[in-house]
Amino acid sequence: MIDGKKVLFSGMQATGNLTLGNYIGALKNWLTLADDYECFYSVVDMHSITVRQDPAELRSRARKLLTLYIAAGLDPKKNCIYYQSHVSGHAELSWILNCFTYMGELNRMTQFKDKSAKHADNINAGLYTYPVLMAADILLYQTDVVPVGKDQLQHLEITRDIAQRFNAIYGDVFTIPEPFIGKTGAKIMSLQDPTKKMSKSDENLNASIYLMDDKDTIIRKFKRAVTDSEGIIAYNDTQAGIHNLIDIYCACTNKTPDEVVKEFEGKGYGDFKLAVGESVADLLTPLQNKFFELEKDKAYIDGIIKENGEKANYYATKTIRKVQKKVGFPERIR
Ligand code: TYM
Q: Which of 28, 64, 197, 221 is catalytic?
A: 197
Which atom belonging to ligand 1 lies closest to the Cα atom of 22? 7
* 12 in contact with ligand 1, CB cutoff 6 A: yes
**pLDDT for the residue numbered 178:** 97
Which atom belonging to ligand 1 lies closest to the Cα atom of 150? 20
**pLDDT for the residue numbered 308:** 98
Q: Which of 6, 150, 200, 255 is catalytic?
A: 200
Residuewise pLDDT in 10s, the chain (334 residues) = 898 999 999 999 988 789 999 999 999 999 999 889 999 999 999 999 999 999 999 999 999 999 999 999 999 999 999 999 999 999 999 999 999 999 999 999 999 998 888 888 889 999 999 999 999 999 999 999 999 999 999 999 999 999 999 999 999 999 999 999 988 788 999 999 999 999 988 899 999 999 999 999 999 999 999 999 999 999 999 999 999 999 999 999 999 999 999 999 999 999 999 999 999 999 999 999 999 999 999 999 999 999 999 999 999 999 999 999 999 999 989 8
Contact 64, 305 (CB under 8 A): no
Q: Is 255 a catalytic residue?
A: no
How many other CB atoms are found less than 10 A from the CB of residue 118? 10
Q: For residue 293, how many C-alpha atoms fall within 13 Å in the half-sphere facing its CB?
A: 9
DSSP string, 52-117: ---HHHHHHHHHHHHHHHHHTT--TTTSEEEEGGG-THHHHHHHHHHTTS-HHHHHT-HHHHHHHH
Cβ-count burial 185-202 (b if 16+ within 10 Å, e if not): bbbbbbbbebeebbbeeb
pTM: 0.94
Q: Is 197 a catalytic residue?
A: yes
Residues paired with residue 5 on neighbouring β-strands, in sequence order: 2
What is residue 262's three-state secondary structure? helix
All residues at 6 or more sequence positions from 205 whose CB lies less than 8 Å from its CB, including other chains: none
* 136 in contact with ligand 1, CB cutoff 6 A: no
**pLDDT for the residue numbered 16:** 76
Among 22, 20, 77, residue whose Cα is nearest residue 307: 77
Distance CA 143, CA 145 (A): 6
One-letter amino acid of 234: A
* Strand boundaries in the chain, DSSP class E: 7-12, 38-43, 80-83, 145-147, 178-180
Measuring from atom 14 of ligand 1, which residue has the nearest CA? Answer: 21
Burial label, 304 (beta-carbon count in 10 A; 0-12, 13-18, 19+): buried
Measuring from atom 11 of ligand 1, which residue has the nearest CA? Answer: 25
How many other CB atoms are found less than 10 A from the CB of residue 90? 23
* 197 in contact with ligand 1, CB cutoff 6 A: yes
**How many A from CA of 69 to the centre of ligand 1?**
14
One-letter amino acid of 133: L
Q: How far is CA 257 from CA 27, 96, 185, 296, 311, in A?
A: 21, 45, 11, 39, 41
Torsion of CA 157, 160, 161, 167, to 10 degrees: 180
* 21 in contact with ligand 1, CB cutoff 6 A: yes
What does DSSP say about strands 178-180 and 7-12: parallel, antiparallel, or unpaired? unpaired
Which atom belonging to ligand 1 lies closest to the Cα atom of 185? 12
* 11 in contact with ligand 1, CB cutoff 6 A: yes
Chain center to CA of 182? 12
Edge-to-edge strand ranges of the sheet holding 80-83: 80-83, 38-43, 7-12, 145-147, 178-180
